[in-house]
A and B are shown apart, each in its own frame.
Chain A
Amino acid sequence: MTKSKFTRRRVLRGMFNGCATTVALPLLDCFLDNKGTAFASGEPLPARFGTWFWGLGMDQQIFVPKKVGADYDLPEQIASLRDVRKHVNVYTGFDVLTDGRPNLCHYTGWVAVRTGEAPLGNGRYPGASLDVLVSDVVGTNSRYRSLQVAATGNPRSSQSFRSSEAVNPADVSAVELYQRIFGPEFQDPNSPVFKPDPRIMTRKSALSTVMEQSADLRKTLGKADQSRLDEYFTSVRALEDRLSLQLQKPPPAEACVLPSKIEKDLPLGLAAEMVANRHNLLTDILVMALACNQTRVFSMMYSDAQALTTKPGNPRPHHPATHEDLRDPVLGYQLDSAWLITRAMESWAYFVGALAKVKEGDGTLLDHSLVLAHSDCQLAQVHSLQAVPLMTAGSAGGRLKTGLHVTGQGTPATRVSLTALQAMGVKVDAWGANSMRTSRAVGEVTI
């Protein structure tokens, strides 16, 4: 690489001496270090973080691999992970502990995994969700701090929040998600031509004026409303920051390919096949948003915690089916519910595969990502919080081992959350509250 005629200095000098706004700047190898995992400046390729959620747990008879460690077996319910197993860690036997707080059905489990604490009531969050903590560290330098996407069709499907009152809205329409990311304001990072749009400058200065003008409003408000106004200002500044970024030439992104335009949304409906189609369509847009550096943090919801996905022929959607269907006397689980979880795992495999398909540096987009997937309970019929299923995919840029089955032996599920937070560079030695507080990352997967 040292033999290359191009040097970083030469290209950079060209940029400053010539017309910086129209210089061609492909991601040449000389910009990468010898391993291809970092920019030559030492700055690593951006690591991405996301969550992937499915509701209503799993059936341990056909979900939990018998073998612990590498090359774990793939029982029927997770057989779809076949092609991506080497990228996926499966965590079984990690519990959610409530310390005497109520087990709020299909709520306590996922809230505790994401906030480190069992909630006190429905609709209440004890703190920020972990994706928000990660976005505070890695999300500030991309166009969007985070994206929330749901295959449920319901804009209320969001598990990303700073507090109970500050829930990040979800995109459920592929047309609108496409428009937001790749619409007229998208700047192709690989375009040979860069021309800052003067209208962006004007918008930015108008926003500053609005903020200056409304500073006095604060004085007329009580404390709680003052802090709400401050949150408003923070959100306006986030838009200003995004506009500033658009005034600079975006860094190249070799894997970025503008996806074809989405003209029409898929029809409303929760039949398993419709959910999968919607999930896959949204996944394809989201993956390109990541590859094109439009965001580094995301949340994907395949289904709500009380999933209403339906299996053809069963009049009961998934959640009522978990409570009303008979268990198969021989197999010991509810067949239709198990079938629906198996469909969810197929979509999870699709999601991991979609990230793994995108080449980036010397690896793939998945290698530079970490995705935490989990559910809200183990056995939905009784809302059990022991052994809530969790998985991770990707190594967060080489910071975690992959392809392992780890058993938690009843230790708190927050150990997996803590492992993810630390891998993503969140400075935290211990995380969670009460019995869920832990300083023990999952040693089997950390490097």
Chain B
Amino acid sequence: MKKPVLWGAAFALLLAGVAPLAGKTVPEPKLGDVSPMMRLITSEQYVNTLQSIFGAGLEYRVQFAPIQRVDGLLAVGATSTVMTSGAFDQFDSAARSIAAQVVDARRRDFLLPCKPAKQNAADDTCAGAFLGGTGRLLFRRSLTSDELGAYVHIAHDSAEAAHDFYTGLSNALTSLLVAPEFLYATQPITKAGNELKLTSYAKATRASLLLWNAYPDEDLLAAAESGALNTSADLARQVDRMLNSPKLEQGVRNFFDDMLVFEDFDTLSKDGTFYPAFTTKVRVDAKEQTLRTIIDHVVSQNRDYRDLFTTRKTFLTLDLGSIYGVPVRTDTAWTPYEFPPDSPRAGILTHASFLALHSHPARSSATRRGKALRELFLCQKVPPPPPNVNFGALEDPKSPFHTTRERVNFHLQNPVCAGCHRIMDPIGLALENFDGAGQYRTTEQGAAIDASGTLDGASFKDVAGLSKALHDHPQLPRCLVRRMTSYALGRTLNKDDDGWLQYADGQFSTSGYRVKDLLRTIATSPSFYAASVKADQ
């Protein structure tokens, strides 16, 4: 009789992430596929990495060929994308522009470690010092003597041809910047006893890409080189250093940018006749507002992830003020702001970014918003619409539709549509108090807006109720765990990962849903650095 009770308790503990057997540590479950991945550097990683080497003073005009989004993430597409000739051209021209700036007469003295003996001739010693140091940061390991020799040779030859040391150096730096060792983060493997694992350098790169969205810095490389990433205590120390670094912000920012499909902002446009307030500046600021709110909430304040959907705290600019109907002081670009308790705005669902991005250019879209909420925050997949729909009801000129609710209710009259629209539209309708630009309204074409609805069994009357229902949805934190794990690994998850994911769910819950702790769970997990060899290798 006691057995089920015990098992129940053990199960509850397991869910909470606590080892069920007192005194014994249950080994952390393993992730499924841990074969190495070759990841193409993204525009953001490129800029982050080069900025930390050459400083923010250079002009990094970098926009590489778009990467295909795979299973909700660009980070997953980056491990399968193929370099086309057009894509390589963009890397080549970025490399040449940056190399020219580094050796520019105004910058060379503080960006280069030495001066050549003669400016109009090659100087292999000085070239070697610069290329060896920079190459190590770009390739995330020391260059072999063969490699260094080859890049010094490039510098030598072109310096002689151009009678200019700096032209030579610029060519050699360009070459480093287009080399596959830089453009691709590969994951070399080493054998420890009978076990395969990533080399320390590969470990450093993995951790750094996850936490900083950049290649490792000198400290991390030095740790990799000295073997200081081999024990779990040493690794944990480095991970903590990275979690406490200001660079964590750019890492977390990139993760949410990817998860929220914010690259769509690049092409978002609104019809100026309907939404004159939604200017280019508002478009840029709306995205930044949400990213700032997220960073402040999960990084600076280290608060519960779920509260992002109910928090009234945010940041505004003068331009955003016109969308929110809020006076914003003009003396600073970004001002912290807290919506008052009687405001309909609370949580990132009510930000102009979410509302405008998932709308049409000249009106809102309950369907798009509902679909986005399910796919982005709950990791649910909404099937594509059927190709052949009977629009008979819409064709009836006697039934004019005033509100979006009236229009989308049409979906529910058709059984082919209803299946999917029933899970999207009621959520989106709760956001109908905000128009296609994210501005608050109480009526649509003269008819009062009804913002009530349900989310997987939880009923609500208005958007605050929807936000609360999402906040309390058990799938919300689980979705973040899955998205972040997939982002970290650069691959689609599968059922072999379930054990590890449930373990991570437990850890996340125990931490009170702190994103930094979730990052630590992944970045210190032995599974994250495990390696296997595929049959074809």
Contact = CB atoms under 8 A, between A and B. Distances in A.
Contact of A315 (B36, B269, B271, B272): B271
Chain B CB within 10 A, most for which of A105, A145, A225, A384: A225
A383 B63 contact: no
A254 B272 CA distance: 45
Interface string A262-274: 0000001111000
B89 A312 contact: no
Interface stretch (A31-39, A40-48, A206-214): A206-214
Given A222-B36, A223-B536, A317 B361 contact: yes
B361 A235 contact: no
B322 interface: no
Contacts of A384: 388
A162 B69 CA distance: 17
A153 interface: yes
Interface stretch (B291-299, B391-399, B521-529): B391-399
Given A203-B171, A232-B180, A209 B66 contact: no
Chain A CB within 10 A, most for which of B37, B146, B184, B280: B184
Given A206-B171, A213-B179, A164 B68 contact: yes
B85 interface: yes
Contacts of B178: 207, 210, 236
B162 A199 contact: yes
B407 interface: yes
Given A214-B180, A238-B88, A153 B267 contact: yes
Given A105-B385, A155-B63, A229 B180 contact: yes
Contact of A207 (B175, B271, B389): B175
Contact of A222 (B86, B184, B537): B537
Contacts of B157: 202, 205
A237 to B, nearest CB: 9
B175 A210 contact: yes
Contact of B175 (A104, A209, A320, A323): A209
Interface in A351-388: 381-384
Interface string B26-48: 00000000011110000000000
B267 A239 contact: no
A144 B415 CA distance: 51
Interface in B350-364: 360-363
Nearest to A157: B267
Interface stretch (B51-59, B147-155, B325-333): B147-155
A71 to B, nearest CB: 36
A324 interface: yes
Nearest to B180: A214
Nearest to A161: B84
Interface residues of B, number: 71
B87 interface: yes
B273 A235 contact: no
Contact of B179 (A145, A156, A214, A310): A214
Contact of A156 (B66, B81, B89): B66
B387 A382 contact: yes
Contacts of A225: 36-38, 186
Contacts of A312: 273
B21 interface: no
Nearest to B364: A315
A86 interface: no
A329 B178 CA distance: 60
B7 interface: no
Chain B CB within 10 A, most for which of A102, A154, A221, A323: A221
Chain B CB within 10 A, most for which of A105, A235, A239, A269: A235
A315 B274 contact: yes
B412 interface: no
B88 to A, nearest CB: 4
B161 interface: yes
B90 A329 contact: no
Interface string B160-175: 0110000000011011
A206 B179 contact: no
A186 to B, nearest CB: 14
A300 to B, nearest CB: 15
Contact of B360 (A145, A315, A381): A315
Contacts of A222: 35-36, 533-534, 536-537
Interface stretch (A165-173, A339-347, A402-410, A414-422): A165-173
B82 A163 contact: yes
Given A104-B384, A268-B269, A383-B387, A206 B83 contact: no
A199 B534 CA distance: 43
Contacts of B88: 232, 235-236, 238-239
B172 A382 contact: no
A103 interface: yes
Interface string B62-92: 0101101110000000001111111111101
Given A213-B150, A222-B536, A308-B361, 18 more contacts: A104-B387, A146-B86, A153-B269, A165-B81, A207-B178, A209-B154, A213-B147, A214-B180, A217-B180, A229-B184, A232-B180, A235-B88, A239-B88, A270-B269, A308-B360, A317-B361, A317-B362, A326-B395
Nearest 3 CB-CB pairs, A to B? A315-B362, A169-B65, A166-B82
15 contacts: A103-B387, A103-B388, A148-B86, A165-B81, A166-B84, A169-B90, A202-B171, A207-B175, A217-B181, A221-B537, A224-B536, A232-B183, A235-B85, A239-B92, A269-B272
